[in-house]
Structure 1
Amino acid sequence: MSEYLVAARLFDGEVLHEHCAIRMDGGQITALLSADDIPAGSTTTELDDGLLAPGFIDLQVNGGGGVLFNNQPDAAGLARMVAGHRPTGTTAMLPTLISDTAEVHRAGVEAVLAAQAAGNASVIGIHIEGPFFAAARRGTHREDRIRRPDSGDIEWLASLGPRLTTLVTAAPEQLPAGAIATLSAAGVLVCAGHTNATYSDISAARAEGLRGFTHLFNAMSPLTSREPGVVGAALEAGDCWAGIIADGHHVHPASIRIAQRCLPTGKLCLVSDAMATVGDDKDWFEIYGERIQVREGRLVNAEGALAGSAIGMIDAVRYCHREVGLPLQECLRMASLYPATFLRREQQLGRIAPGYRADFVRLDDQLQVLDTWVAGARQTHLSP
């Protein structure tokens, strides 16, 4: 049976509508129409205020709800992560494994498949971040987990392509020639990250099918006068996407503005890079046996080095709008439509339009999350 959702203001991913209605059937959007055209006697929910927008899609979620995915790679852990991030507007995510043993990574893949089989609609794939990194750019990834891949690693990763949406972050200079081409042909999305690559290395990776860059500006060789590095290559790569952590700590607001101006429209995506503290009462967690603590809004290890972020997606949207100065509608696209396009899911997610999944976020004038819907199922987070 159809149900209707009436919004005072609705941003469909492209255009702002007033007094608009959405018809939903079985968790899918089947029509967008004027509220005046709803058939008499229909099941209708009226949203008298706030802005309804496409639900946020987070490409890089290491943890949430008190769980770090590496520490609990199972369906129950994923359920807690999803619950921790949903109040921040995230309706779909790629749970992310940082560098670890092959056993942990394989357990994480099986956890995602189990969560999807159990009906967790917010878990739409997996992001395997490492361990094929440049040691000099490893950040807080444990050094003894960093290594080069062998043929078995590439074969296993390629086998995931037909099974689920898979994003792999690796340092291109650490991969054998042809590995990115093999993974791309299998449907795996490959991003450059934690890399000391040269401009030439990135050019070769793009020729093999490199899809994008993980947390632009962080853990990668910088742009300099005689060597553009990964940053320079990324800013020039109009065929690639880039994720960016807009938390006020990882990237200067001017750098975000520069990236947004350099890259073609639609290629810059907001990511949280969130850790276990998001959606949890504790302000610390452990990884690799090391305690990571929130200090003045920053997640840091004992040496004071950044170790992921303590934000959800609405925090990134709010920061980009208020501090970076980007238009709100563009910030919303950076959190929804652009990640969906990166994932090749732009015909299913990232818009409010017929044929799309009914994933929405409702925001108040202060850009706080009031409600979310995942496949038409509503949760209320704050009273208007």
Structure 2
Amino acid sequence: MKIAYKNGTLFTGEHIETGKAILVNDNTIVGLTDEGSIPSDYQISDLEGLQVAPAFIDLQIYGGDGKLFSAELSIEAIEATYRYCLRGGCSRFMLTMATNSMETFLKGIELVKEYWDKGGKGLLGFHMEGPYLNPVKKGAHVEKWIKKPSVEEVSLVLEKGKGALKMMTIAPEVCSDEVIQLLLNSGIIVSAGHSNATYAEAMRGFNMGIPTATHLFNAMSPLQSREPGLVGAIYNHDRVRSSIVGDGIHVDFASLSISKKLMGERLFFITDAVTETSKGDYQHILRGDRYTLPNGTLSGSALTMMESVKNGVKHAGIALEEALRMASTYPGQLIKDQLLAGRIAPGYTAEFVVFNDRFEVVRVIGH
């Protein structure tokens, strides 16, 4: 079906356009045209003067609407997570599971495949956050499941995860060169996190090709005068990206602002969102605007991607266009080998978030 979306303020991922229509054919963007030059064979969809941007992409979310994936392990939990994402303007997500038993991880992978087989939408793949982490920086992760990787086990995970496992967070200092290279060669996105790496250990991993890091500042060795740690390595490596949780709780808004000035387009938003549950190893309790474990440890956010954008603009001094890139264009660059998303440009998937001046999501198009 050919559809022309008109009468909106468009942010393409590069700049803002007015008086333009987005031409879409079979869920793929054909291009932009003047509103007065829409071809006659296109059906018109009125954007009602609202703002339009590429739909958001969340590379780290654990569940939604009371269904934590690791506790529920069901298609229904994936569907609930997708609904939660859509309410925040996010059309694509990486379903994430924190450190768990290998049996639970592999069951999660199989459910991702089953969800796709049944025509499920929005899901980019499976993000294994663990178990190859540093227990010193376990954060809310369950220590009994944390381990050092062997080539044999990693090879098994990659084989079982083929097609569904798309991302893995590791602590580079607990992984051998052989393991890191094996992961990189598999084509999944490897991210450094839950790590107590020295600056040298972190740079070793980044120089091998690790492209990104997981939730900047949280559960990682800090930047200090005599030991720059993982944070320092992220700042100082001009190719490495990092996600950040923009709720003002995981990271102070001033730290978000400073990091944005230092990293530019290398910094992007995730929600790191969990959901309330009393089942399994991860029992998240909603305490106001955050989730904690029963012992009070911060265990996840209550964010949506649109709230991340709003916080970046309102509290960290980030321009609207740049905050939108941090939620769409920049994470889209990490998944570009899988899907062209995060921009309004020819050839890209036609998925848009429509929102008002109060940062309220009106609808998500193309999901």
Task: Please state which band the TM-score falls in when normalised by the shorter chain.
Answer: over 0.9
Q: Superposed, which structure 2 residues align to 1:55-204 within 5 Å?
A: 55-159=55-159, 163-164=163-164, 166-204=166-204
Whole-angstrom CA distance in 1 between matches of 2:235 and 2:161: 27
TM-score normalised by L of structure 1: 0.91
The residue aligned with 1:352 is 344
1:313 is aligned, of 284, 300, 305, to 305
- CA drift of 1:243 comes to 0.3
Amino acid at match of 2:224: T
- Contact 2:106–2:161 under 8 Å retained in 1: no
The root-mean-square deviation of aligned C-alpha atoms, in Å, is: 1.7
1:164 Cα deviation from its structure 2 partner: 4.0
Kept after mapping to 2: 8 A contact 1:178/1:208: no
Aligned partners of 2:271 and 2:303 also within 8 Å: yes
Q: Give the total of aligned pairs.
A: 367
Q: Quick one: distance in 2 between partners of 1:165 and 1:267?
A: 23
2:273 aligns to what? 274
Return 349-358 or 202-211, whichever deviates more.
Answer: 202-211
Helix, strand or coil at the partner of 1:140: coil
Q: Distance in 2 between matches of 1:2 and 1:41?
A: 7
Query: What does residue 328 of structure 1 align with?
Result: 320
**Residue 204 of structure 1: how far off its partner (Å):** 1.2
SS in 2 for 1:141: coil
SS at match of 1:285: coil
- What stretches of structure 2 of length at least 5 have no aligned partner? none
Letter in 2 for 1:328: L
Residue 300 of structure 2 corresponds to residue 301 of structure 1: no
Other structure's SS at 1:92 match:
strand
Q: Deviation per CA, 1:291-322, whole angstroms, max 9, x where unpaired?
A: 42222212112222101111111111110110
340-349 or 67-76: which moved more? 340-349
CA distance in structure 1 between the partners assigned to 2:233 and 2:64 by the alignment: 32
CA distance in 2, matches of 1:2, 1:85: 26
Q: In the aligned structure 2, how far is the partner of 1:70 from the partner of 1:208?
A: 31
User: Aligned AA for 2:37?
Assistant: D
- Structure 1 distance, partners of 2:281, 2:334, is 34
Unaligned runs of 5+ in 1: 277-283, 378-384
1:382 corresponding residue in structure 2: none
Q: Distance in 2 between matches of 1:161 and 1:205?
A: 22
Change (3 A) 1:291 1:74: closer
TM-aligned CA distance change 1:40 to 1:212, over 3 Å:
closer
* Structure 1 residues 135 and 176: CA distance shift in structure 2, 3 A: same
Q: Check if 1:224 corresponds to 2:216.
A: no
Which 10-residue stretch deviates more, 148-157 or 208-217? 148-157
**More helix, by proportion:** 2
CA deviations over 1:258-302 (Å, ceiling 9, x no partner): 211111x321010000012xxxxxxx3235356422222121122
Tell me the residue number matched to 1:3. 3
CA–CA distance in structure 1, aligned partners of residues 111 and 7 of structure 2: 36
> Helix, strand or coil for the counterpart of 2:321?
helix
* 1:119-140 CA-partner distances (Å, limit 9, x unpaired): 2231012110001111111011
Structure 1 counterpart of 2:80, one-letter code: R
How far is 1:207 from its partner?
A: 2.3
Please give the secondary structure, in 1, of the residue aligned with 2:202. helix
CA drift at 1:186: 1.4
The one-letter amino acid paired with 1:241 is: R
Deviations 1:352-383 (A, max 9, x none): 1111111100110011100102xx35xxxxxx
User: Are the aligned partners of 2:142 and 2:281 in contact in 1 as well (CA < 8 Å)?
Assistant: no
Tell me how far 1:165 sits from its aligned partner: 5.8
SS at structure 1 position matched to 2:71: coil
Residue among 349, 362, 365 paired with 2:354: 362
- Which residue in the other structure is 1:286 paired with? 278
Alpha-carbon offset, residue 153 of structure 1: 2.2
CA shift, 1:157, in A, is 3.8
The answer as to whether partners of 2:172 and 2:195 remain within 8 angstroms in 1 is yes
In 2, distance between residues paired with 1:207 and 1:157? Answer: 24
Aligned residues of 1:198 and 1:229 also touching (Cα < 8 A): yes
Q: In 1, Cα distance between the equivalents of 2:157 and 2:202?
A: 21
Contact 1:337 1:346 in 2 (8 A): no
**Greater CA deviation, 169-178 or 90-99?**
169-178
Other structure's SS at 1:333 match: helix
Question: In structure 1, the residue corresponding to 2:330 is in which secondary structure?
Answer: helix
Flag the 1:347–1:300 CA change in 2: closer, same or farther, 3 A.
closer
TM-score in terms of structure 2 length:
0.95
Deviation by residue 1:134-191 (Cα, 9 ceiling, x = unmatched): 1111011111111112223210343367624611001111112221111111102111
Q: Cα offset for 1:22?
A: 1.5
